[in-house]
A and B are shown apart, each in its own frame.
Chain A
Amino acid sequence: MHEIHYEAPTSLEQAVGILAKHGDSARPICGGTDLLIQMRAGVRRPHYVVDVKHIAALTGIAFDPKSGLRLGAAAPCIEIFENATLRRHYPGLVEAAHLIGSLQIQSRASVGGNLCNGSPAADTTPALIALGAVARLVGPKGERQVKVEEFVVSPGRTVIQPGELLVELLIPPPPPHSADAYIRFIPRNEMDIAVVGIGAAITLEGDRCTAARIGMGAVAPTPLFAAKASQALVGKKFDAVAIENAAQLAIEQASPIDDMRGTAEFRRHLVGVLTRRTLERAAERARRN
């Protein structure tokens, strides 16, 4: 691996200062479970590596029933799925965090890092999109907020500008009678990259759907918000017809490629199957809330 300068700032101001000073040659590191692989392969070659795990603003997990969840960008996955409050209110996000690699990876990797890595197949990103999560970035010119579905711009690239740092993810509180879910397909039982991953969050009033959001992973160059499929569910009776209609609209929006994990045709088929299953799982949970 190439030589680097490692910095471990303890405040946001220091971190942004270092990142702003070194621009494109600096990159934040959290668990390093993606970045160190890329550095070892020579795919990314930052000269300055800024460890963000020692900044309190990035490591907190705070839930408030009125304002929702503030999820620090560097909070490790293990703290997410061991958190009873998150398991209760955001089971889909917890499912996604629990699917990333082994325990050895989950004890280091973060949801924020999963997003910043910019992979179209990131497991937690469709779950965040389904929840309507917003990313809060801080940089030398101040702060801004970006919807998660607009965060990744192309494979491996995000909206983050030189000097900017993802601080936290802001996730709305779950409305009454709502729930989320995340399901991915892989050809093995564990430890693989999603062939397709679907996240969904829905709200039910009796047998009617009053809100729905579907996020899709590994079906396009970036993770997608399935806007038409989501909108088609709202205001309708939540039944097999509505679910099938949403699944077809999700398939129409997907633009997958053929690769070693599956053909485009197989991926489109999976979008339908997983959209149905994820909506049904979210609905089953929502009926209990």
Chain B
Amino acid sequence: MKNIQVRVNGHPVAREIPDHRLLVDFLRYDLGLTGTKEGCSVGVCGACTVLLNGQPVSSCLALAVMADGGEVTTIEGLAEGDRLHPLQQAFIDYGGFQCGVCTPGQIMASKALLDANPHPTPAQIKEWMMGNLCRCTGYYKIIEAIQAAAAEKTEP
């Protein structure tokens, strides 16, 4: 067992956890942050994407102890009170999701993209987002949503 201290969505969290606890399980089962989904469990689908110290990582392939002393941002950390993050709003406005399982990962990966590059081209969006699979949308709506959020457009 290890005692870890992590800032999760801006709030300090201290927990005693088994060394083999995966970050995705720590978030979902220890903290109840079930917005983060586990998809493929092998780092290919991107559904479990969270930001660890600002970098997008697959939380299914990180140990929770590795986040000790660090900062984790999940989908639950994006909205400010009742106001959705511009990316969340854009995914709704532009039909960037259907079943929604991949959506938290899509939005966290696109958050990291806009943090690094506030005005990406469609080609840059496609390259950055290649690690986030979606079986519903065909991707075009996701790209449109990210472009809209980058342009701060609120209506389609």
Chain A residues whose CB sits within 8 angstroms of the CB of B148 once the complex forms = none
Which residues B30-85 have CB closer than 8 A to chain A?
Answer: 41-44, 46, 49, 55-58, 61-63, 65-66, 68
B87 in contact (CB, < 8 A): no
**Complex alpha-carbon distance, A39 and B20, angstroms:** 10
B120 in contact (CB, < 8 A): no
Q: Are B43 and A2 within 8 A (Cβ)?
A: no
Known contacts A1-B20, A37-B43; A103/B131 CB under 8 A: yes
Stretch at the interface among A3-11, A64-72, A155-163: A3-11
Known contacts A6-B63, A37-B43, A191-B131; A104/B19 CB under 8 A: no
Q: Are B63 and A36 within 8 A (Cβ)?
A: yes
Known contacts A40-B41, A107-B55; A102/B65 CB under 8 A: no
In the complex, per-residue mask of B123-142: 1 if CB is within 8 Å of any chain A CB, else 0 = 00000101110000000000
**Complex alpha-carbon distance, A37 and B2, angstroms:** 22
Number of chain A residues whose Cβ lies closer than 8 Å to a Cβ of chain B: 28
- Quick one: which of A2, A32, A39, A103 contacts B128, CB cutoff 8 A? A103
> Which B residue's beta carbon lies closest to that of A6?
B19
Known contacts A33-B43, A191-B130; A108/B63 CB under 8 A: no
Chain A residues whose CB sits within 8 angstroms of the CB of B112 once the complex forms = 103
Known contacts A33-B43, A190-B130, A191-B131; A104/B57 CB under 8 A: yes
Interface of B is mostly: mixed
Q: Are B58 and A104 within 8 A (Cβ)?
A: yes
A51 in contact (CB, < 8 A): yes
Chain B residues whose CB sits within 8 angstroms of the CB of A37 once the complex forms = 41-43, 61
B114 in contact (CB, < 8 A): no
B22 in contact (CB, < 8 A): yes
Q: Are A6 and B65 within 8 A (Cβ)?
A: yes
A101 in contact (CB, < 8 A): yes
> Which B residue's beta carbon lies closest to that of A107?
B55
Q: Are B61 and A33 within 8 A (Cβ)?
A: yes
A105 in contact (CB, < 8 A): yes
Known contacts A32-B63, A108-B57; A102/B131 CB under 8 A: yes
Q: Are A3 and B63 within 8 A (Cβ)?
A: no
Known contacts A40-B41, A191-B130, A191-B131; A104/B46 CB under 8 A: yes
Chain A residues whose CB sits within 8 angstroms of the CB of B19 once the complex forms = 3-6, 49
B12 in contact (CB, < 8 A): no
Q: Are A103 and B44 within 8 A (Cβ)?
A: no
Chain A residues whose CB sits within 8 angstroms of the CB of B56 once the complex forms = 103-104, 107
- Quick one: which of B22, B44, B62 contacts A1, CB cutoff 8 A? B22
Which residues A1-52 have CB closer than 8 A to chain B?
Answer: 1-6, 8, 31-33, 36-37, 39-40, 49, 51
B18 in contact (CB, < 8 A): yes
Chain A residues whose CB sits within 8 angstroms of the CB of B109 once the complex forms = 103-104
Chain A residues whose CB sits within 8 angstroms of the CB of B132 once the complex forms = 102
B104 to chain A, nearest CB (A): 13
**Complex alpha-carbon distance, A59 and B131, angstroms:** 25
Chain A residues whose CB sits within 8 angstroms of the CB of B63 once the complex forms = 6, 32, 36, 49
> Which B residue's beta carbon lies closest to that of A102?
B131
User: What are 13 of the A-B contact pairs (CB < 8 Å)?
Assistant: A8-B68, A32-B66, A33-B61, A39-B20, A51-B66, A101-B43, A103-B112, A104-B49, A104-B58, A104-B131, A105-B58, A107-B56, A191-B130
Q: Which residues of A does B touch, CB under 8 Å?
A: 1-6, 8, 31-33, 36-37, 39-40, 49, 51, 53, 78, 101-105, 107-108, 189-191
